[in-house]
Amino acid sequence: MAAGGDHGSPDSYRSPLASRYASPEMCFVFSDRYKFRTWRQLWLWLAEAEQTLGLPITDEQIQEMKSNLDNIDFKMAAEEEERLRHDVMAHVHTFGHCCPQAAGIIHLGATSCYVGDNTGLILSSGVITAHCSLRLPGSDNSVSISQLARVISRLADFAKERASLPTLGFTHFQPAQLTTVGKRCCLWIQDLCMDLQNLKRVRDDLRFRGVKGTTGTQASFLQLFEGDDHKVEQLDKMVTDKAGFKRAFIITGQTYTRKVDIEVLSVLASLGASVHKICTDIRLLANLKEMEEPFEKQQIGSSAMPYKRNPMRSERCCSLARHLMTLVMDPLQTASVQWFERTLDDSANRRICLAEAFLTADTILNTLQNISEGLVVYPKVIERRIRQELPFMATENIIMAMVKAGGSRQDCHEKIRVLSQQAASVVKQEGGDNDLIERIQADAYFSPIHSQLDRLLDPSSFTGRASQQVQRFLEEEVYPLLKPYESVMKVKAELCL
């Protein structure tokens, strides 16, 4: 934008998403160079299709356009936009300046949304799938689906390795029955698998706006082809094919329906909710000292407290995930206020929310992959917490064992109740350890089952079918879902800052 600041200067604001967090590949996808290069590609595809269908466009004009796709004079474009107050026409003139032979046929029959909307769809499709017509420099894999598949794969490895490691479950963040570390991780994986399937659905549902004209009626192209309806349809299909889309909208106004943006950002917002939940769990487990995210050798947790090991990566994910979740409100409101065939109050909003949604998703997935590649578990801490809570959980098993040994269920229940209250008092009033088992061992009433206490208190006997559930879930749901992405699994996550 001609009136914009110098975004490379320390005296000008620059979005932290670009300067601190998102990957260079994702930043490039939403750069001016990539955007306006895509505009030029769209103008070339239109001219090629129009020539093929018989319009008087020469091979020399086509070749001139091809030769100047990357020859973008950004200074001239900015000056033209300041003069014309129209970004598309500014770039039509700038492209025409370096293509004097082709200048008269650039943008022939098209409206601004031909390049604006179709570029947005190309970017969305390409970012989600890594298969856009204009490839990312240096990598085809730094995109949403591949990133998400890698995160799921890393967490699946983690879950498999710890499928049988008992840990205290929490409901209401209060101690509950035992689960396993791997089973808890599968709760995270299941949400991410749903996000992956939703991303694939959105990708498969994306359609090209195509060649529709000012109000979607294709009237300008019908005039160009002298009323030949078949050629207009061929033109639309040819450009759609060149852009790599299987389908185009039959019905549009000047724009494609803005409900498409709702669909895309809703899926990304849902992903944000999943990541926020996962990283919140990791932060809580870090407080309990049961699990930690990676912590680098020279990393500083606090400027004032040298001993701190703050879960900085997980906190970043939560912070940015909240931003991602709120962005869906923009397309929701934009779609609701599009008057008739189109109104321009969508434009400035979409410039911000669409790019920020993908940049934010890129950041949180890259960061979550980094976390999942270096999660640290502390089994001894987990074991100690289980020992504090398990005696209370085991009381029903102890009662059943006493009944089998000939005791009265009611008498045993009363004995356990009294001893439990005494043990709870030690924990709460004195800050001591849970000594219920020691009290049971010291009480002659329970002598018939003293030899069974170790077995009755084995944590693995309290985890139900957790380990079997992990194995079945991974084999039946996760691994088949990841199979198409095996070629990208070795890519490691690298944090910008």
CA dihedral of residues 482, 483, 489, 493 (deg, nearest 10): -20
**Residues 268/361, Cβ–Cβ less than 8 Å:** yes
- Which residues pair with residue 168 across a beta bridge? 178
Output the DSSP codes for 339-357: -TT--GGGHHHHHHHHHHH
Map tokens 């995160």 to a residue: 151
Q: Is 302 a catalytic residue?
A: yes
The string of DSSP letters for 178-233 reads EEEHHHHHHHHHHHHHHHHHHHHHHHHH--B--S--SSSS-HHHHHHTTT-HHHHH
Rounded Cα distance, 148 and 367, in Å: 11
**3-class secondary structure, 73:** coil
Is 463:180 a contact under the CB 8 Å cutoff? yes
Has 91 been annotated as catalytic?
Answer: no
Q: What are phi and psi of 309, to 5 degrees?
A: -125, 75
State the catalytic residue, choosing from 67, 302, 408, 447: 302
Q: Which residues pair with 179 in a beta bridge?
A: 167
Strand-pairing partners, residue 291, are 377
Kindly give, in sequence order, each residue whose CB lies less than 8 Å from that of residue 203, ignoring residues fewer than 6 positions away.
125, 128, 129, 145
Other beta carbons within 10 Å of 135: 11
Phi then psi for residue 298, to 5 deg, are -105, 10
Name the residue among 150, 136, 120 with its Cα closest to residue 23: 136
Give SS3 for 167: strand
Residue 75 Cα to chain centre, angstroms: 35
CA angle 122, 123, 129 (to 5 degrees): 90
Active-site annotation holder among 172, 230, 303, 451? 172
List active site positions. 172, 302
